[in-house]
Structure 1
Amino acid sequence: MKTPSLKPPVALALAGPTASGKTAAALAIAEHWQHQGGIEIISVDSALVYRGMDIGTAKPSQAELAGVPHHLIDIRDPLHAFSAAEFVRDAEQLIIEIGTRGRMPLLVGGTMLYFKALLEGLSDMPPSDPLVRATLHEELNALGLAALYARLHAVDPVTAARLAHADTQRVTRALEVWQLTGKPISSFQTRDASLGPRADIPLISLEPQDRAWLHERIALRFDEMLGAGFLEEVKALRARGDLRSDLPSMRCVGYRQAWEALDKDWPSSELRDKGIFATRQLAKRQITWLRNMPTRHVVAADQAHALAQTIALSQQLLCQ
């Protein structure tokens, strides 16, 4: 269904779970629009921001990056995080700059928190408190993550249901916000629903109807990553000596499993199985996020004419 907009679009957003075909669709849209001012792509991916993390993130190739201008890729060293607030700041500035060049910004990716922050707004959230953070890590070491997750579920079931049980970083952050404010972190991540999402950035969502189709693509892509030297890429990152397994960069799906595989000397089959399983779980969470965005325009990514439908829908949305 086409959602009426009070403002002309300032950008177009393209989202979907991992391995749903976002990169191919984005490049096809860009090719279609090259004679109508052109497209510049803004990456909405919390892993693509990191330099030296190419294989495990399925980063666009050098040819793809050269063919269409891309932004917010390779802008951070893996030692440093990139927050949702920083993404919104940079993306909003890029939308303005690209627009002044007479081009259309195309926001593409699968980091749903970034999309939600840009399209629905960010509320003020307390900064990290070193004392509270240290106390939580002591409890984590003494009691285990399961105990902290159970505590989070008791005080903020909405956030607990959204997070993976093994997501140490986000579980401890949610508990930290609770202890600092007495409010669930979900209350800070939601603005007044009456405002609605931004009407000037329509969202196309690539959502496969057959989960088996997506699972097959996830497995194929993980195998391709392993064949391309993904484990060697992680070994090189570890060899730097300054990276840790608890950093946001190294907790990206795939990298976390590869790091653990190297720590525990897993056979390649175990890394493959756990990496594919974790990627499937990520895709499931991404689809859940998308289904909570009611104004999105859904394209069945596993249908034969999905690419043509995506291009036609982009034209419809941008020319409304």
Structure 2
Amino acid sequence: MIPLIVIVGPTAVGKTEVSIDLALKINGEIVSADSMQVYKYMDIGTAKPSLQERKRVPHFMIDVVTPDQEFSVAVYKKMATKIIEEIYKRNHMPIVVGGTGLYVNSIVNVMDFSSTADWKLRQQLKEQAKMYGNEYLYEKLKKVDPITYKRIHPNDIRRIIRALEVYKLTGKPISYYQEITQNRPNPEYNALMIGLTMDRQKLYKRIEERVDKMIKDGLIEEIKWLCDNGYKNNMIAMQGLGYKEIIRYLEGQCTLEEAIEILKRDTRRYAKRQLTWFRKDKRIHWFYVDQFSCKEEITKNILELVAEKYNLR
């Protein structure tokens, strides 16, 4: 079994800083589990580790595809699994870090729907989407799988079709399979799962400060550049947090102040959903980062768990 450290938690809680500090102390390399950081050119709005931070510690699964390319959990799992094996073969410690629950689950749990496929049915659904629009299939999904409906963006037609396909072929929604596989650990890894969290109001304050910093650092200019270079607002990548809100401002649908307030609100809601998702996994050891004086103190406590888990004392 490959030893694997996993660090999860809500956005803005400080996963990047803690994971880098930990990696430097245990000869680790970091594999991102963030569904937005896979996209090139989208740096500020996705809060990617800086180039300086990536020079200090190797990071993977960042800048993998352009915003107009499709990317899925299955592709992530395939690529990340290979990278984890390569890190281990180098006698380094693989550390998966991120807040995208499905990406994390694809690594640490048994999660495979590949045997359930019907290409003819999939093509029929694609034709229905072309004929009646994405919203038609999206409403179909709402009736058969309201849980997945809430998770998927209406423009994410590939995932909508996949969810409908699984339901039609098995009679059960894809959320059902995700739920049962969530509790089946992947036997390939000896995983130590760490969760970072903090007082809710303090987290919300950090989120708001982060959004303000993104605007100051050039988020609007980044999005203008993306739009000018052909990356349109109907692309899945451009519907990510921080992007769709500013696009509405650029298109004159709201003021900048309104866009920023909506972004802060939606990010707070996203953080709440992340915490709800990860709280279900009882393997996670939780640390309240606001109860420590510095990140080094958090790292010290994580290192004690690492030593105990992998008999390094």
Question: Contact conserved, 2:105 with 2:182, CA < 8 A, in 1?
Answer: no
For residue 143 of structure 1, report the CA deviation from its aligned partner.
Answer: 6.4
Change (3 A) 1:274 1:140: farther
CA distance in 2, matches of 1:42, 1:168: 27
Range that drifts further, 13-22 or 173-182: 173-182
Partner of 2:106: 117
CA distance in 2, matches of 1:134, 1:177: 17
Is 1:266 the counterpart of 2:254 in the alignment? yes
The 5 Å alignment of 1:26-65 reads 26-33=19-26, 38-65=27-54
CA distance in 1, matches of 2:67, 2:136: 29
Using the aligned pairs only, state the percent identity. 34
Partner of 1:15: 8
CA distance in 2, matches of 1:144, 1:109: 30
Is 1:285 the counterpart of 2:278 in the alignment? no
Partner of 1:80: 69
Question: Contact conserved, 1:300 with 1:306, CA < 8 A, in 2?
Answer: no
Question: Contact conserved, 1:28 with 1:311, CA < 8 A, in 2?
Answer: no
SS of structure 2 residue aligned to 1:200:
strand
For residue 23 of structure 1, report the CA deviation from its aligned partner.
Answer: 0.6
SS of structure 2 residue aligned to 1:302:
helix
SS of structure 1 residue aligned to 2:113:
coil
Q: Any runs of at least 4 consecutive aligned residues in structure 1 with deviations exceeding 6 A, and if so which?
A: 141-145
Q: Deviations over 1:37-90 (max 9, x none)?
A: x11111111111111111111111111011111111112111112211111111
CA distance in 2, matches of 1:18, 1:303: 18
Q: RMSD value over aligned CA atoms?
A: 2.6
The 5 Å alignment of 1:156-305 reads 156-160=145-149, 163=151, 167-169=154-156, 173-179=162-168, 181-191=170-180, 195-196=184-185, 198=187, 200-208=190-198, 210-241=199-230, 243-305=231-293
Q: Deviations over 1:129-180 (max 9, x none)?
A: 24313424654567696xx1xx5344224434x527x654255653454345
- Structure 1 unaligned blocks of 5 or more: 1-6
1:230 is matched by which residue type in structure 2?
Answer: L
Question: Contact conserved, 2:163 with 2:173, CA < 8 A, in 1?
Answer: yes
2:191 is matched by which residue type in structure 1?
Answer: I
Q: If the length of structure 1 is used for normalisation, what is the TM-score?
A: 0.84
CA distance in 2, matches of 1:93, 1:131: 34
CA distance in 2, matches of 1:178, 1:52: 36
Question: Contact conserved, 1:17 with 1:283, CA < 8 A, in 2?
Answer: yes
For residue 249 of structure 1, report the CA deviation from its aligned partner.
Answer: 1.1
Q: Deviations over 1:179-238 (max 9, x none)?
A: 455431113434557744556111101122x21111111110011011111011111101
CA distance in 1, matches of 2:105, 2:166: 19
- Structure 2 unaligned blocks of 5 or more: none
Question: Contact conserved, 1:44 with 1:108, CA < 8 A, in 2?
Answer: yes
Partner of 1:3: none
Q: If the length of structure 2 is used for normalisation, what is the TM-score?
A: 0.86
SS of structure 1 residue aligned to 2:190:
coil
SS of structure 1 residue aligned to 2:244:
helix
SS of structure 2 residue aligned to 1:183:
coil
For residue 303 of structure 1, report the CA deviation from its aligned partner.
Answer: 1.9
Question: Contact conserved, 1:136 with 1:176, CA < 8 A, in 2?
Answer: no
For residue 112 of structure 1, report the CA deviation from its aligned partner.
Answer: 0.9
